[in-house]
Structure 1
Amino acid sequence: MSAALDCNICFIGGGNMAQALIGGLLSRGLPASKITVADPVEKIRKILEQQDVNTTDDNLQAIQDADVVVLAVKPQVLAQVLKPFKGLCDGKLFISIVAGAEIATIAALIGSERIVRVMPNTPALVQTGAHGLYATEDIVAEDRQLASQVLAATGLTVWVNEEAQLDAVTAVSGSGPAYFFYMMESMIRAGKNLGLDEKVATTLTLQTALGAAQMAITSASSPAELRKNVTSPNGTTQAAIDVFDREQISQSIQAALAAAQKRSHALAQELSDQAKQLG
């Protein structure tokens, strides 16, 4: 991570994902003095000041000495936040974690194409994130490496070959934690219905989810093979899987992710249209 440790990094927006990245960078050895966060909310700035990073409510002041600018604002305010940056971005690498904001949209607003786009997910808050990254062919290897180092502070990084694939990344990992939380909710509710105390049902469900994920990560077997290994013919697990199959749970999950991908693409178009109106 030596390249990232030599950089001045600015965050435009200091919300949860920005705070996760900042915490990860600090834990990796980046001096707090090299981090600046711009956020209009005083409460957020005070939280960040407890980590000794620089804070301001002035976006233009924040990017002035930055080598890397991480865009971490809400999609709906992206255009108005970035429009004043035009002409002030030379020599800066922009890393965008703004959902749905395409590189062309950002480039048109800031007047620079030195941009890496990232689709992170919320487990970054506990340093177990899964981040999908994309950059055009014009982005040099050093910038790709630098972006990877910044994001790796909170989890693993995976590069995709086409920007459109980030819509699929959004569907799989960006929104993915909610799917697993939904499953956990359902299992806890089922445990209660079957007579378990809520605390017991919750503890068993969460530990089972953790254990299953750890097995899948560390095993040479695929998830499908691992499932078969615990599914004895005519056993209890088979009885449950039969219900899943009968209710077409797999098909429903696939349809749900397709809907998320479609919505991600639509949001990108909405942001592009908004940027054109302001431009």
Structure 2
Amino acid sequence: MSGASPQPRVILVGGGNIASAILGGLIQAGWSHAWLHVIEPDAAQAARISGAFDVPTSADFSGAPSGPCVVIWAVKPQVLKDAIKSSRKACKCAFHISVAAGISISSLKRMLGTPEVVRAMPNIAMSFGRGVTGLLAAEGLSDFNRQWAHEIFSAVGEVLWVQSDADMDVVTAVSGSGPAYIFAFLEAFESAAISCGIPLDRARDLVLQVAEGAMLQARNSGTPFGDLRQSVTSKNGTTEAALNVFGQNKLSETFASAVTAARDRAAELAAEISN
């Protein structure tokens, strides 16, 4: 780690998918197991986390290590307020990061009673070190803690600092929800391959190999996506025939509408939670 001081103790509140992804990514990046702790009241979930990641767990903050730490709130937005209220005294010296969708940075600052707060919107690829996380700092956040937020999420992928809650709605729609868009495309591609005669036991691997190859070409070449598409599309050929169908079905417009719907829903959820 390149932080200005020794690795901070990280306490994750919640043991669900996002917490697991953060844990997996940090451990893969070399974060010490001894400096990680999970608070999870569900005994079965706590046992799963402890067994999978070899980190200590407790049902609440009374069983967590004391002293300065980074607390990552990885609970559902609907229960975040009560979770903070029940443990506010126990984490007075903490720097807080919330991954609860829809909770504004001003609301977090008010609930936690400190400016040492960052709102984060990660995605599930963190568990493989390939996540994308949007970060929004509360006004008054120290440079020291801003650096630690960057360190933590850089350890599990790319980091994008944004300027407002509205920006976070966009990040939610693009990178937070983005993996599901890719999975939906792969699912449809696999189904199409099977319907055209590719054996069921081969279709998944074939589709993944095609997708991985295209992604590597796009990343390594730096060429615009449109230019890459044109480079593999012969006039009146098979690829053009397929792309014409995408055009007829307005793929670009459909995708734009889908991402816009996700962004708008993120804003709606924030309004619902705040009421």
* TM-score (norm: length of structure 1): 0.91
Separation in 2 of the partners of 1:158 and 1:119? Answer: 10
Q: Which residue of structure 2 aligns with residue 15 of structure 1?
A: 16
Q: What is the CA distance between 1:68 and its match in structure 2? A: 0.4
State the SS of the aligned residue for 1:164. helix
Separation in 2 of the partners of 1:60 and 1:78? Answer: 18
- Answer whether contact 1:9 1:68 (CA < 8 A) is retained: yes
- Answer whether contact 1:121 1:174 (CA < 8 A) is retained: yes
State the SS of the aligned residue for 1:133. strand
CA RMSD, aligned part only? 1.9
Identical pairs, percent: 37
Q: 1:66 to 1:12 in 2, by over 3 A?
A: farther
Separation in 2 of the partners of 1:59 and 1:104? Answer: 24
Match of 1:123 among 122, 125, 150: 125
- Answer whether contact 2:21 2:125 (CA < 8 A) is retained: no
State the SS of the aligned residue for 2:31. coil
Partner AA of 2:181 in structure 1: Y
Aligned length: 273
Partner AA of 1:140 in structure 2: S
- Answer whether contact 2:61 2:90 (CA < 8 A) is retained: no
Q: Which residue of structure 2 aligns with residue 33 of structure 1?
A: 34
Work out whether 1:73 is the aligned partner of 2:78.
no
- Answer whether contact 1:120 1:131 (CA < 8 A) is retained: yes
Q: What is the CA distance between 1:145 and its match in structure 2? A: 1.6
- Answer whether contact 1:119 1:174 (CA < 8 A) is retained: yes
Separation in 2 of the partners of 1:36 and 1:98? Answer: 19
Q: What is the CA distance between 1:148 and its match in structure 2? A: 1.3
Q: What is the CA distance between 1:137 and its match in structure 2? A: 4.3
Separation in 1 of the partners of 2:62 and 2:160? Answer: 31
* TM-score (norm: length of structure 2): 0.92
Separation in 2 of the partners of 1:177 and 1:132? Answer: 15
State the SS of the aligned residue for 1:134. strand
Work out whether 1:262 is the aligned partner of 2:264.
yes
Partner AA of 2:102 in structure 1: G
Q: What is the CA distance between 1:5 and its match in structure 2? A: 5.0
Q: Which residue of structure 2 aligns with residue 195 of structure 1?
A: 197
- Answer whether contact 1:148 1:157 (CA < 8 A) is retained: yes
Match of 2:157 among 150, 155, 158: 155
State the SS of the aligned residue for 2:190. helix
Q: Which residue of structure 2 aligns with residue 48 of structure 1?
A: 49
State the SS of the aligned residue for 2:64. helix
Separation in 2 of the partners of 1:118 and 1:92? Answer: 16
Separation in 2 of the partners of 1:217 and 1:123? Answer: 17
Q: Which residue of structure 2 aligns with residue 82 of structure 1?
A: 84
State the SS of the aligned residue for 2:153. helix
Q: Show structure 1 runs of 5+ residues with no match.
A: 274-279
Match of 1:133 among 106, 124, 135: 135
State the SS of the aligned residue for 1:234. coil
Q: What is the CA distance between 1:234 and its match in structure 2? A: 1.3
Q: 1:106 to 1:60 in 2, by over 3 A?
A: farther
Q: Show structure 2 runs of 5+ residues with no match.
A: none
Q: What is the CA distance between 1:66 and its match in structure 2? A: 4.3
Separation in 1 of the partners of 2:134 and 2:219? Answer: 18
Separation in 1 of the partners of 2:252 and 2:157? Answer: 27
Match of 1:252 among 240, 251, 254: 254
Match of 1:239 among 238, 241, 245: 241
Partner AA of 2:252 in structure 1: S
Separation in 1 of the partners of 2:219 and 2:153? Answer: 20
Match of 1:204 among 206, 211, 214: 206
Separation in 1 of the partners of 2:28 and 2:249? Answer: 46
State the SS of the aligned residue for 2:22. helix
- Answer whether contact 1:13 1:72 (CA < 8 A) is retained: yes
Partner AA of 1:74 in structure 2: K
Partner AA of 1:94 in structure 2: H
Q: What is the CA distance between 1:22 and its match in structure 2? A: 1.6
Separation in 1 of the partners of 2:107 and 2:34? Answer: 31
Of the structure 1 ranges 74-83 and 47-56, higher mean CA displacement relative to structure 2 is found in 47-56
Q: What is the CA distance between 1:52 and its match in structure 2? A: 3.4
Q: What is the CA distance between 1:54 and its match in structure 2? A: 2.0
